[in-house]
Copies of this chain bind each other. A is one copy, B any other.
Amino acid sequence: MTPTPPTDATADDRDSETAADTDDHLIPRLGLPRRDFIKAGAAVGAMGTLAGCTGLLDNNGDGVASASDVDASVPPGELDEYYAFLSGGHSGDVRVYGVPSMRQIMRIPVFNYESARGYGHDDETREMLESAGDYTWGDAHHPRVSQTDNDYDGRWVFINDKANGRMARINLKYFETDAIVDIPNTQGVHGACARLPDTDLIFGVGEYRVPIPNDGRNLDDPDAYESVLTAIEPESMNVVWQVRVDGNLDNGDGGKNGRWFFATDYNSDGAVTESEMARPDTDYLKAFDTIAIEEAVENGEYEEINGVPVVDGTTESPLNQGDRPLVHYVDVPKSPHGVSVTPDGTYAIVSGKLDPTCTVVEIDRFDEVDDPNDVIVGQPLVGGGPLHTAYDGRGHAYTTLFVDSQVVKWDIEAAVDAERRSEDPIIEKIDVHYNPGHLIAAESYTADPQGDWLISLNKLSKDRFLPVGPVHPENDQLIYIGDDDAGMQLVKDTPAYPEPHDASMVHRSKIDPEPVYDPEDLETEYVDVDDTEVIREDGRVHIKMTSQRNEFGFHDVTVQEGDEVTITTTNIETTSDLLHSLAIPQYDINVKLAPQETREVTFTADKPGVYWMYCAYFCSALHLEMRSRLLVEPEE
């Protein structure tokens, strides 16, 4: 369907419609909004990092909340309050934003080769990428930050590759990818969600149904296709078990108490065409009892396929009968998409996608009911194309409406109290531009969302930015949600390179990266000034050298055409932000060298001639002069 333009109704209109219904029961129960001091006019002093424009200014009355209503400015030299980690979709990277400035501070290559960071250019990172399937790209969807006791612990970000069935780990000590696992027995792996409270398991949800193993058997027998849920141990990044299910798996989220994992299913019939997949009026929410699954694995009740214990979680499985099924199948309308667990761990909320409702499931009821459908305790009528839901910690849910191009704010307890398919729980809607997919609120995935900022990741931007040809940026819109009286306020449009898919937002106090490498953390041995040497043995040349302002350890090195050359280089600088690189013209090499970092690159000297090895990081006034000659003598 075509993007739906914003309606004429404005956020202000909606406030006036709904304020009466909501304020009287919201304010007493939830207290005052936490972050209303952030509003213009009261910012000075209260929050230094958010100081700036201090004049109280009028709403510009154009139906879009003006940026001047909420002070989201971050003056030169001041820092943002939050890190946002946005996946890069099929660009394969992860982007780090500052919030509320929405400035992109860093890219982290994950499934893509990237030369400025030398990612996939030095031996170690290239081997990591090659050993994990040797793909040049990935489809990075769901960045999730590791937690301890249901709060962010600043250790890792996990991110899935939907295209090739991989899971990667980003180390937040250095903001770099340090592990990638190629997951067997699955295709279209979605989600990188964790078992909480302590992120002791990472889950990859298999979206596409394929034969297992997918080696040519049952090629055109869709009934024999299967989807699996994959559990990965985060320290080792080893796949520890899988569960096969009926239908398929889409998005997922973990419960807060170490037991449950939830995933949606939009293809309960196991169909192979769009029209067939969209036919059923209900599909499934699947609730995985990970404790029961682990017991089944311990009891040997699995089939080993491609080295992985695969447990049978299909509806007909003997393990799924009785009073402790591995997987509970709950009927929810219609081609459900997103699922997320409320901060207090009480509910899992499922978005209908092809049904204008969200479905509220009370998690504790799984142990109490005979009919799994009796876990459903609410089903508010939210609007067209509900996809994903985030939380503010004040009892509200925020759901993206892809078809209506809106974000709807609704009251969770009111939805439990209300009739099914009622609009009563709806507090307000705000237009976004256009067609939102995921959204993220500050620390929404933890037990304590911060309740101030929300980002709507809109898939289309249309005419919101200067035109740049057929490929448009997406539009990540910053919305202030800290004032329940004023309602949601659109603050910023932010263009984004295709295709940010999902995000996590973490307070800056919870991440503490190192500006300089600890050589102990690196695989390759440190090369100090005294260690500089060239080792030659039949056809192999190993050059060990340093880099520092403004020279490499050797002014020139001579090798023979055909030699296999390994260059190990240490940046012996100790000053933060003083990077060098080792770039070799026409040899397709650029190795990044941060302070105290050692990297190694191996290549065959197959082109005779003079090649000026140079530093590609602008490191000093004599940066251009920081180069050495690689002299490749021709074969006789």
The residue from B585, B610, B626 contacting A225, defined by CB atoms under 8 A apart: B610
How many whole Å from A225's CB to the nearest CB in chain B?
Answer: 7
Residue in chain B with minimal CB distance to A133: B586
What are the 3 tightest A-B residue pairs by CB atom distance, in nearest-first order? A55-B55, A470-B594, A216-B634
A43 within 8 A of B: no
Interface check A539, CB cutoff 8 A: no
Residues 92 to 113 of chain A near chain B (Cβ within 8 Å):
92, 96, 98, 103-107, 112-113
A384 CB to nearest chain B CB (Å): 8
Nearest B residue to A468 by beta-carbon distance? Answer: B106
CB of A482 within 8 A of chain B? no
Tell me if A188 counts as interface (CB < 8 A to partner B).
yes
* Beta-carbon contact of A466 and B90 below 8 Å: no
> Separation in Å of the A636 CB from the closest CB of chain B?
10
Q: With a CB–CB cut-off of 8 A, which chain B residues contact A187? A: 585-586, 610-612
Does A91 reach chain B (CB closer than 8 Å)? yes
Give the distance in Å from the alpha carbon of A614 to the alpha carbon of B617 in the complex: 38
Q: Are B104 and A75 in contact (CB under 8 A)?
A: no
Set B80, B117, B551: member contacting A274, Cβ < 8 A: B551
CA A631 to CA B465, docked complex, whole Å: 41
Contact with B along A1-12 (1 / 0, CB 8 A): 111000000000
In whole angstroms, what is the CA distance A473 to B618 when docked?
A: 12
Bound CA–CA A133/B468 (angstroms): 28
Q: Which of A66-74, A142-150, A295-303, A527-535 has 4 or more CB atoms under 8 Å from chain B?
A: A66-74
Determine if A135 is an interface residue (Cβ-Cβ < 8 Å): yes
Tell me the smallest distance from the CB of A140 to a CB of chain B, in Å.
10
**Which of A91, A98, A402: most chain B Cβ within 10 A?**
A91
For the complex, give the distance between the alpha carbons of A55 and B67 in Å: 13
Chain B residues near A612 (CB, 8 Å)?
Answer: 187-188, 208, 210
Report the Cα distance A163→B581, complex, angstroms: 12
CB distance from A388 to the nearest CB of B (A): 12
In the complex the two chains form, is A579's CB within 8 Å of B620's CB? no
Asked whether A122 is an interface residue with its Cβ less than 8 Å from the other chain, the reply is no
Query: A633 in the interface, Cβ–Cβ < 8 Å?
Result: yes
Residues on B with C-beta less than 8 A from A80 are 465-466
A28 in contact (CB, < 8 A): no
A493 and B133 in contact, given A113-B113, A468-B105 (Cβ under 8 angstroms): no
Of B516, B608, B624, which is within 8 A of A470 by CB? B516
A629 lies within 8 A of chain B by Cβ: yes
User: Is A590 within 8 A of B76, CB to CB?
Assistant: no
Residues of chain B within 8 A (CB-CB) of A493 are 76-77, 103
User: What is the CB-to-nearest-CB distance from A209 to chain B, in angstroms, rounded to a whole number?
Assistant: 9
**Known contacts A494-B103, A583-B90: A558-B469 contact under CB 8 Å:** no
* Contact in complex: B468, A618 (CB < 8 Å): no
Q: A214: which B residues are within 8 A, CB to CB? A: 609-610
- Give the number of chain A interface residues (Cβ < 8 Å): 160
- Judge whether A250 is part of the interface by a CB distance below 8 angstroms: yes
In chain A, positions 1-32 with a C-beta closer than 8 Å to chain B are: 1-3
A502 to B408, CA, bound (A): 43
Set B116, B250, B403, B581: member contacting A624, Cβ < 8 A: B250
Q: Mark A146-174, 1 if CB is under 8 A from B, else 0.
A: 00000000000000000111000000111
Candidates B55, B164, B469, B575; contact of A585 at CB < 8 Å:
B164
Given contacts A403-B621, A467-B511, A470-B594, 10 further A-B contacts (CB under 8 A): A53-B57, A64-B76, A91-B114, A106-B471, A174-B470, A225-B610, A274-B550, A335-B625, A337-B624, A498-B579
* Pair B220/A556 contact, Cβ less than 8 Å: yes
Q: Using known A-B contacts A115-B91, A586-B164, A625-B277, determine if residue A219 contacts B610 with beta carbons closer than 8 Å.
A: yes
Asked if A470 contacts B517 (CB within 8 A), the reply is yes
Interface with B: A311-319, A321-329, A455-463, which one?
A455-463
Residue of B at shortest CB range from A114? B91
Q: Which residue of B lies closest to A461 (CB)?
A: B577
A464 CA to B492 CA, complexed, in Å: 21
* Bound Cα distance A555, B617 (Å): 49
CB-defined contacts of A497 to chain B, threshold 8 Å: 104, 106-107, 116
Q: Once the chains are docked, how many angstroms separate the CA of A374 from the CA of B198? A: 74
Q: CB < 8 Å: which of B402, B437, B472, B495 contacts A577?
A: B472
Please, could you name 26 A-B residue pairs with CB atoms under 8 Å apart, sorted by A? A53-B53, A55-B56, A76-B433, A79-B465, A96-B466, A104-B495, A105-B473, A115-B136, A136-B588, A139-B583, A163-B590, A172-B469, A175-B469, A187-B585, A219-B610, A272-B555, A272-B629, A274-B622, A274-B627, A354-B622, A460-B577, A461-B577, A462-B577, A466-B508, A467-B515, A499-B617
